[in-house]
Amino acid sequence: MNPDDAFERILALLYEAALDVARWPAASASIDEACGAVGNALVVGGRSGDIYSIQPLYRGEADYDVAREFFEVYYPHDEVLRRRVEMPDGRLVHASELYADTALRTSAAYNEGWRLLRAQNGINVSFEQPDGLRIFWGVGDPVGGDGWESAQVGLIERLLPHVLRSVLIRQALAAADALGSGLAGLLDNDRIGVVQLDRGGRVLAANGPALEILRRGDGLTDRDGALRAAAPRDDGRLQALLGRALPDLWGAAPEGGSMTVERPLRQAQGRLSGRPPLSLHVSPVGDAESDFGGRRVAALVLVVDPARRPRIDPVRVAASLGLTRSEARAAALLAEGRSVLEIADMTGWQAGYVRRLLKRIYRKQGVSGQVSLVPRVLALETLPQD
C-alpha cells in the first residue's frame, strides 16, 4: 500500500474509532503498520501527572500488564515526569531527548521502563487542553531497530492532528453523555445531597444541598475540584472509598460503599455544640468503556444530612412501584439515604436479607442499582396525592 493510500485508510479508521471505541485497535494497528512501529499508546492525564486513561496497543493488541508495570514501578520515580508533562504542544520528541546525557545513562525509567514499553527509540507528542487535560501519544520503537526513516516520521507528523481530533471527538461524546436523564434528574432533587464525579475523582456537578455543604466546608470540601472530607482521618477513608468506586485503569470492577464524616463544631447560644455526622453513600456509575479520558459521570456520592433527611412514605412506594410491603420499606429507607446496615438496624432484619430485598427490587424495576432506584423513589414524593 502506498503512503497516500495508507494515510487515507488510517483517517477513515480514526473517525470510526471516534464514534465507536471498539474500532480503536484497528486504527492503532494500521498506524503501526504504516509507520513501521512496534506499537503506540494514548495516555490522557492531568497537569500534575495523574493518569486517567491508557490505551497501550502493540499492532492492535492491548498489553496492560506491561503498561501497569511501567506506570506503577517506573512512572512515579521518572526523573523527567515534569518535563514530559510540560512538553511543547504538538511537537514530536524522541524519547531520548527527554533526558539529559547523564540521566540517559543512569535513569532506571529510561533504561528499564522505556525498554519494557519497547519505546526507548520511540517518538512522543503531547497536547494540552483548556480543561487541564494532557493528551500524550507515544509511538513505539521502529521495527527492526534500525532507526526512523524520514518518510516514517513524516507520516506520523501528518497523522498528529487527526489522532488528536479523534480523541477530542470521543471525549466530547463522553461529555455529552455525562449527565444522562436519570443522573440529571437527581441534581434537581433538593432533599438529599448529590455529587457527581468523573473517572479522575473530580467534581462534575453537585445539587443545591451538596453545594451548600461544600461551600461551608461542613464536613466536605471540593478543594482543587476534588471531593474531600474536612477532617484528615475521614479524608483518608473517603479517598480509599472513592478509589474503589472509580474505574480502574487495569480493569478491576469498581465497587460502592458507605461511610460517615464528622462535621465541625457549631456555635450555638454562646457555646460550641456537636452535630450528627454526614452519611455518604458512593456508587459506581456506568461501565468502564474507554472514553479517552473524557469527562463523564463515573461515580455518584449521595450526601445525607440527618437534619434534612427526607421521609418517604413506604405505602405510596408500594402502590406506585408494585412492591411488597417489605420491599417498599427497604426502598423508602434506601432513598432516605440509609445504608444496608442502617436499614437492618431500623427494621430488625438481617443485613443479608436487606441485600436480597434490594436485589429483588432492582430486578422488578429493571434498574442496575441504587443510583437508578433512588431518583425513581424520590420522584414519587413530587407527584400529587390521590
Residues facing 255 on adjacent strands: none
Average the pLDDT over 288-311 and give the result: 75
Q: Domains of the chain, with CATH numbers?
A: 3-176 (3.30.450.80), 188-309 (3.30.450.20), 311-386 (3.40.50.2300)
Q: Which three cell numbers stand for residue 28?
A: 492503532
- pLDDT the model gives residue 69: 94
- pLDDT the model gives residue 280: 87
CA 208 to CA 206: how far, in whole Å?
A: 7
162 vs 292, residue with greater confidence: 162
113 vs 281, residue with greater confidence: 113
Chain segment 96-155, per-residue pLDDT in tens: 888 877 778 888 888 999 999 999 999 999 988 777 788 899 999 999 877 899 999 999
Has residue 273 got a pLDDT over 80? no
- Residue 139: Cβ within 10 Å count: 27
* 55-59, 186-190, 320-324: range with lowest mean pLDDT: 186-190
CA angle 50, 108, 75 (to 5 degrees): 10
Has residue 51 got a pLDDT over 90? no
Percentage, residues of the chain above pLDDT 70: 86
Helix (H, G, I), strand (E, B) or coil at 115: helix
Has residue 381 got a pLDDT over 70? no
Has residue 86 got a pLDDT over 70? no
156 vs 369, residue with greater confidence: 156
The phi-psi region of residue 292 (left if phi > 0; otherwise alpha if psi is between -120 and 50; otherwise beta) is left
Chain segment 193-252, per-residue pLDDT in tens: 889 998 888 899 999 999 999 999 999 999 889 999 999 999 999 999 999 888 877 767
- pLDDT the model gives residue 105: 84
Give, as one character, the DSSP assignment of residue 137: E
CA 279 to CA 339: how far, in whole Å?
A: 9
Alpha carbon 218 to its chain centroid, in Å, reads 25
- Residue 315: Cβ within 10 Å count: 11
Percentage, residues of the chain above pLDDT 90: 37
CA 308 to CA 84: how far, in whole Å?
A: 48
Residues 6+ apart with CB under 8 A from 210: 193, 194, 195, 220, 301, 303
Give the burial string for 240-279 (b: 16+ CB within 10 Å, else e).
Answer: ebbebbbbebeeeebebebbbbbbeeeeeeeeeeebebbb
CA 208 to CA 197: how far, in whole Å?
A: 16
Pick from 342, 77, 90, 286: nearest CA to 174: 286
CA angle 150, 154, 159 (to 5 degrees): 155
Average the pLDDT over 329-344 and give the result: 88
Which range, 45-54, 77-86, 125-134, 344-353, is most confident? Answer: 344-353
Has residue 66 got a pLDDT over 90? yes
Has residue 291 got a pLDDT over 50? yes
CA angle 22, 26, 27 (to 5 degrees): 100
- pLDDT the model gives residue 16: 84
Whole-number average pLDDT of the chain: 84
Chain segment 10-25, per-residue pLDDT in tens: 988 987 888 778 889 9
Has residue 178 got a pLDDT over 60? no
